[in-house]
């Protein structure tokens, strides 16, 4: 019998609005960001021109709800923006990714007053927002943090430090987790909004990193840093829960970032294989290269399906989001590392030098296996969800 097309079966088809968004972001990325990507990596300077281009088009923080002046983009829209920007420049993709990471604790845990004070500033582009959970001795074991917030004088006094803070020194605001009750374990941690100009707040030396050079990473330090009482996110003691709920959602966006890196490397490898000639013909005609590229593409599409499935669960706030958020981040970032490594192999010696972008993709891919929880931690998260 003949197969009959079923136009209503669109489980794995993006909506027209999402496809239009992807096309718009890709056009902007190729026009404004791709020509700057190598320079951004070389100089290590934050790309303010890219930020302005993203802001002018509403792509710098597409997730902010319309009631706070934002675009009201859903979880998949945020992933598409990050994916398409990361496809040409990972550093630039951290602009929308970190804005989402920094503000999601407010979205999931703050009252309307706090949301109304800060989200419109991010939506307009007036301010960026970073997230501060990890410390020197409390990375994977975030609950072991030492930063302390002591109540007093109608507010809180912060002392301590946070490590590996993305876009530190660029962001105007920081969501900071600190211990408010040392006797209560994770239930003694609270979340606060800290301003870049709060007395007692300072920045550490910029980190010298393998990749993502155009996104500054620094410690942030608190020395008797006084925070007004109305800047606590939710109730005291809910900060760790807020931090974990945040990561359930934002790990999906790291999956999207890794997916974009992998797609960019695949695109570059395919184009190079068609052009590069050896033994009198293009290397794309060699079965060994064909197998390599086929495997790369298969892995990218698998990562895409998982990441988009996780984005749908993030939007619906499904009960299994914790598993899918960890899975998308873990799988897509592992694939990004594999695909970028293989892309360098397709380029051969040319892939090992900075004349071509694949070595940058490879360096940038590594961090996606580490931040927002190492992939070893993601596997623990997934296993606990399955075995509980």
Q: Which residues are identified as catalytic?
A: 372
Q: How far apart are the C-alpha atoms of 122 and 104, rounded to whole Å?
A: 12
Two structure tokens written together for 133: 């959970």
Please check whether residue 242 is in contact with residue 108, taking contact to mean a CB–CB distance below 8 angstroms: yes
Q: Give CA–CA dist 220/224, Å, rounded.
A: 13
Measured between alpha carbons, how far is 64 from 85 in angstroms, rounded to an integer?
18
Query: Is residue 279 exposed (0-12), middle (13-18) or buried (19+ Cβ within 10 Å)?
Result: exposed
Q: Taking a C-beta distance cutoff of 8 angstroms, is the pair 364, 237 a contact?
A: no
What is the spatial distance between Cα 235 and Cα 386, in angstroms, rounded to a whole number? 30
Query: In sequence order, what are the beta bridge partners of 190?
Result: 178
CA distance to 268, 281, 344, 348, 351, per residue, from 276 (Å) = 12, 8, 14, 10, 12
Within 10 Å of residue 283's Cβ, how many Cβ atoms? 19
Q: Which residues contact 257 (CB under 8 A, 6 or more apart)?
A: 82, 83, 86, 90, 93, 94, 97, 368
Q: In whole angstroms, how large is the CA radius of gyration of the chain?
A: 21
| Beta-strand relationship, 217-228 and 155-166 | antiparallel
């Amino acid at each position: 019998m003949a197969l009959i097309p079923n136009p209503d079966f669109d489980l794995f088809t993006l909506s027209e609005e999402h496809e239009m968004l992807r096309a718009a972001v890709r056009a902007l990325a190729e026009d404004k960001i791709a020509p700057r990507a190598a320079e951004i990596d070389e100089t290590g300077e934050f790309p303010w021109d890219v930020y302005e281009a993203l802001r002018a088009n509403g792509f710098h923080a597409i997730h902010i709800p319309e009631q706070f002046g934002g675009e009201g983009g859903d979880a998949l829209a945020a992933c598409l923006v990050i994916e398409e920007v990361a496809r040409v420049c990972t550093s630039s993709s951290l602009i929308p990714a970190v804005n989402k990471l920094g503000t999601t604790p407010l979205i999931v845990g703050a009252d309307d007053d706090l949301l109304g004070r800060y989200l419109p500033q991010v939506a307009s582009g007036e301010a960026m927002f970073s997230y501060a959970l990890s410390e020197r001795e409390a990375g994977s074991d975030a609950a072991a943090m030492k930063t302390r917030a002591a109540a007093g004088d109608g507010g809180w006094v912060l002392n301590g430090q946070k490590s590996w803070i993305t876009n530190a020194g660029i962001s105007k605001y920081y969501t900071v987790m600190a211990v408010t009750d040392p006797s209560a374990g994770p239930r003694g941690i609270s979340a606060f909004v800290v301003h870049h100009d709060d007395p007692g707040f300072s920045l550490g030396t910029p980190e010298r990193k393998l990749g993502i050079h155009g996104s500054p990473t620094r410690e942030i330090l608190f020395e008797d840093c006084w925070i007004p009482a109305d800047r606590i996110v939710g109730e005291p003691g809910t900060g760790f829960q807020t931090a974990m709920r945040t990561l359930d959602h934002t790990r999906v966006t790291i999956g999207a970032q890794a997916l974009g890196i992998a797609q960019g490397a695949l695109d570059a490898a395919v184009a190079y294989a068609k052009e590069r000639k050896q033994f009198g013909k293009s290397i794309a005609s060699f079965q060994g290269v064909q197998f390599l590229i086929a495997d790369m593409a298969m892995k990218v599409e698998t990562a895409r399906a998982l990441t988009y499935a996780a984005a749908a669960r993030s939007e619906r706030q499904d009960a299994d989001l914790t598993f899918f958020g960890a899975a998308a981040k873990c799988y897509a970032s592992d694939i990004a590392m594999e695909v970028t490594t293989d892309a360098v192999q397709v380029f051969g010696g040319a892939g090992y030098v900075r004349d071509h972008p694949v070595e940058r993709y490879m360096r940038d891919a590594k961090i996606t296996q580490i931040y927002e929880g190492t992939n070893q931690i993601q596997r623990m998260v997934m296993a606990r969800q399955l075995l509980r």
